[in-house]
Amino acid sequence: MDPKERSIDKASQEMIARMAEAGQQNAWDRLDAQSPQCGFGRQGICCRICTMGPCRITKKAPFGVCGADADTIVARNFLRAVAVGVSAHSDHGRTVAEVFIETTKGNAKDYQIKDTTKLYKLAEHLGVKIKDRSVNEIASDVGEIALAEFGKPKGSQFMAKRAPGPRQDIWAKLNITPRAIDREVVEALHRTHMGVDQNYKNILMHASRVALADGWGGSMLATELQDVLFGTPYPGRGEVNMGVLKKDEVNIIVHGHEPILSEMIAVASQDEELLAKAKKAGANGINVAGTCCTANELLMRHGIPIAGNFLNQELVIATGAIEMMAVDVQCVMQGLTQVAKCYHTKLVTTADKAQMPGVEHVSMDEHNALDSAKELVKSAIDNFKNRGEVYIPKEKNAAVGGFSFESINYMLGGRFRASFRPLNDNIINGRIRGIVGIVGCTNPKVPQDMTHTTLTRELIKRDVLVLTTGCATIACGKQGFTNPKIALDWAGPGLREVCETVGIAPVLACGSCVDNTRLLISCAELVREGGLGDDLSDLPIAGACLESVSEKAVAIGQYFVASGALVVFGKEFLPISGSKNVCDYLFEGIEKDLGGRWAVESDPVKAAEMIIQHIESKRDALGINKEKERKLYDMADRRALTVE
């Protein structure tokens, strides 16, 4: 197949072509080998949760052996997907909480509490006393309370209290205020056991609850604790795409999700002794770059370059320039082992819960994190001499990352009166029509990066501010969307004015997938600031993931829906079409309950249209669309822009 049909990214196209020439396989080839894929699975109507099955729903056999119908099976599969996604994010959050606690005890000497301002804020939310106490005492309590959120026997998630009051009331009324994260996941698995919950609406209601335990629980804790531990991100420049790899340096790729390891590898790569060792080995330095969400974490906080997103992981190795790829958890393809065999690249797993046969495992633990990281870097340097032929695509683009809630607040309002007011005002006056989160993965079923970037282009053109996370951020970064110098030309006049005044791009890189909670917090702040309604569901906002891969994306989608947002997925990536009732509820009925809903649209231009319509209808309802005629801005208008 023509590489252009596989990716819109030139660097990827080159590497896809080279791998094909060398007879090596990647995800696209394996997708071809798997095709045609199972139609029952695509519609969500196969069930293999008990051994009377597996069962598939057809016209001739509309019930499983136990009598379950399509509605039950589709809803159960959906809930299970959400629960797995929640587990992944939240287990990541738990790991961070554990490291956090060990840090406060002095047992993880290589980590420090970096952001005390954020620590105090977090302490306030968690009800931890601040006055007359040391940073360590406060942090220790914060860590313990955060860790307890995962398994506490009673009560609901503390973080959920950060949602607007009316939102919390809706959750309480529907009895879906999230309790302990582990409990919601366990209940999801219990309900979907054979012969338990067989009311699709009841099953889907729990999908909201378990998802909320992620968005306003596990993921949010992951982000908050990471910010305190590693520093809250502020905008800084970085570079994106395979051109960041260096021919004359030792290249180390960090891949996965938890910054616990990658933070330390970043530190180790600056170590004088190791740099000298690299010199001796004939290399001009040690170059650390990331793929997937780990990359976003490192770009956000340190400006460390990003080599690519999900579908780049195998391609990166095929450059022949990678001495080591160190992986932790999530989105690590087993296919890497095959590609790595063709090159000198040393693949290393570092999380005990995520290993691969035939791959060296270095158990990473927080008690001697820097030492383990140094060992890894050393072994990467030793591998430099084993390099064969190297081909690095030239493509790379400058990108700005680091848009945490705090930094957006600061950029908008200035140091002394950090505030969302300017953003609210510009949404109300219509210069910015609304805000859309473009998130998630890259799926080989559509040309890599195509849907994210097309949708982004269509939205900013029409004055919609885009916040992006996950692999979508990397897709946007590769094409220059997060670089103000390039992207401002693509923005509509209103959005452009505001972005120019504030000094930001029309597309803000907000981090990894757990960082979608930054979007929730930002939306809560839009409500709190005033003038845009009382609840998240009043806001002119939406979320989109048109090329999703993972169950985490479904969990994220569901917590945005349950928080009151419209969420659009690519049609083929939401396997619910086998039940009309489930579709009707998730696409429509749920809006009456929760104010948000799902939609599917695979064409990014049409998806943009759908989202704009939604945003405009929210604006109509808010009564801020009265004088809608567009005008050209003169100097007086420019001055009237309420930004510093």
3-state secondary structure 255-294: ECCCHHHHHHHHHHCCCHHHHHHHHHCCCCCEEEEEEHHH
Strand, helix or coil for residue 239: strand
Identity of the residue, 310 or 598, whose beta carbon is nearer to ligand XCC in the bound complex = 310
What secondary structure does DSSP assign to 349-412, as a single string? E-BTTB--TTSEE----GGGHHHHHHHHHHHHHHHGGG----------EEEEE---HHHHHHHH
The CA distance from 497 to 489, in Å, is: 11
Give least dist CB 71 to ligand SF4, A. 12
Window of 45-53, 290-298, 366-374, 618-626 that interacts with ligand SF4 by CB under 6 A:
45-53
- Rounded to the nearest angstrom, the gap between the alpha carbon of residue 45 and the centroid of all alpha carbons in its chain is 28
Which option in ligand XCC, ligand SF4, none does residue 552 bind, with CB closer than 5 to 8 A by kind?
ligand XCC
CA nearest 27: which of 307, 242, 310?
310
- Extract the tokens encoding 349: 């797993």
48 or 571: CB nearest ligand SF4: 48
Taking the complex as a whole, the smallest distance from the CB of residue 623 to ligand XCC amounts, in Å, to: 37
Site mask for ligand SF4 (CB under 6 A), range 193-232, x = bound: -x--------------------------------------
Q: Is 293 in the site for ligand XCC (CB under 6 A)?
A: yes
Among 57, 315, 318, 513, binds ligand XCC (CB under 6 A): 513
For residue 340 the two structure tokens come to 């790595």
Encoded tokens for 287: 């170059």
CB of 60 to ligand SF4, least distance (A): 15
- Asked if residue 178 binds ligand XCC (CB under 6 A), the reply is no
Q: Can residue 331 be called a binding residue for ligand XCC (CB under 6 A)?
A: yes
CA distance 363 to 372: 8
Binding at 444: pick from ligand XCC, ligand SF4, none (beta carbon under 5-8 Å per type): none
Footprint of ligand XCC on 564-583 (CB under 6 A): none
User: Contacting ligand XCC (CB under 6 A), which of 332, 435, 549, 599?
Assistant: 549
555 binds ligand SF4 (CB under 6 A): no
Binding flags for ligand SF4, 154-193, as an x/- string (CB under 6 A): ----------------------------------------
User: Residue 172 binds what, of ligand SF4, ligand XCC, none (CB under 5 to 8 Å, by partner type)?
Assistant: none
Taking the complex as a whole, how short is the minimal distance between the CB of residue 83 and ligand XCC, in angstroms? 15
Prior bond of 540 cis (ω within 30°) = no
Site string for ligand XCC, 249-278 (x = CB under 6 A): --------x---------------------
Count of residues touching ligand XCC (by CB under 6 A): 16
Cβ nearer to ligand XCC, comparing 449 with 535: 449
String marking each residue 398-427 x if it binds ligand XCC according to CB under 6 A? ------------------------------
Q: What is the rounded distance in angstroms from the CA atom of residue 400 to the CA atom of residue 303? A: 8
SS3 360: strand
Task: Give the pair of three-digit tokens for residue 249.
Answer: 């340096």
> What span, in angstroms and rounded, lies between the C-alpha atoms of 311 and 288?
19
User: By C-alpha distance, which of 296, 319, 314, 340 is closest to 249?
Assistant: 319
CA distance 115 to 212: 26
CA atoms within 13 A on the CB side of 487: 34
Nearer to ligand SF4, 186 or 194 (CB): 194
Closest CB 578 distance from ligand SF4, rounded Å: 13
DSSP 345: P
306 or 441: CB nearest ligand XCC: 441
For residues 542 and 320, the answer to whether their CB atoms sit within 8 Å is no
- The residue (of 225 and 549) whose beta carbon lies closer to ligand XCC is 549
Decide if residue 55 touches ligand SF4 (CB under 6 A). yes
DSSP state of 509: E
HEC profile for 205-230?
A: HHHHHHHHHHHHHHHHHHHHHHHHHH
Q: How far is the CB of 214 from ligand XCC (least distance, A)?
A: 13
Q: Which of 3, 44, 64, 477 binds ligand SF4 (CB under 6 A)?
A: 64
Q: Cα(305)–Cα(291) distance, rounded to whole angstroms?
A: 9
Considering beta carbons, is residue 68 or 583 the nearer one to ligand SF4? 68
Give phi and psi for 554, each to the nearest 5. -65, -40
From 482, 550, 558, 563, residue interacting with ligand XCC (rule: CB under 6 A): 550
Q: Which of 300, 446, 459, 471 binds ligand XCC (CB under 6 A)?
A: 471
In this structure, are residues 164 and 527 in contact, taking their beta carbons and an 8 Å threshold? yes
Three-state secondary structure call for residue 535 = coil
Comparing CB distances to ligand SF4, the nearer of 73 and 392 is 73
C-beta closer to ligand SF4: residue 71 or 425? 71
Q: Token pair of 259, please?
A: 């910054």
CA distance 124 to 22: 57
**Which one of ligand XCC, ligand SF4, none is in contact with 81 (Cβ closer than 5 to 8 A by kind)?**
none
Q: Diameter of the chain by CA atoms?
A: 73
Q: Which stretch binds ligand XCC (CB under 6 A): 133-141, 394-402, 403-411, 547-555?
A: 547-555
Q: Which does 441 bind (CB under 5 to 8 A by kind): ligand XCC, ligand SF4, none?
A: ligand XCC
**H or E segment and range at residue 378:** helix 369-383
DSSP letters, 165-183, are: HHHHHHHHHHT-----HHH
Contacting residues toward ligand SF4, per CB under 6 A: 47-50, 52-55, 64-66, 68, 73, 194
Residues of this chain that interact with ligand XCC (CB under 6 A) are: 257, 292-293, 309-310, 331, 440-441, 470-471, 512-513, 549-550, 552-553
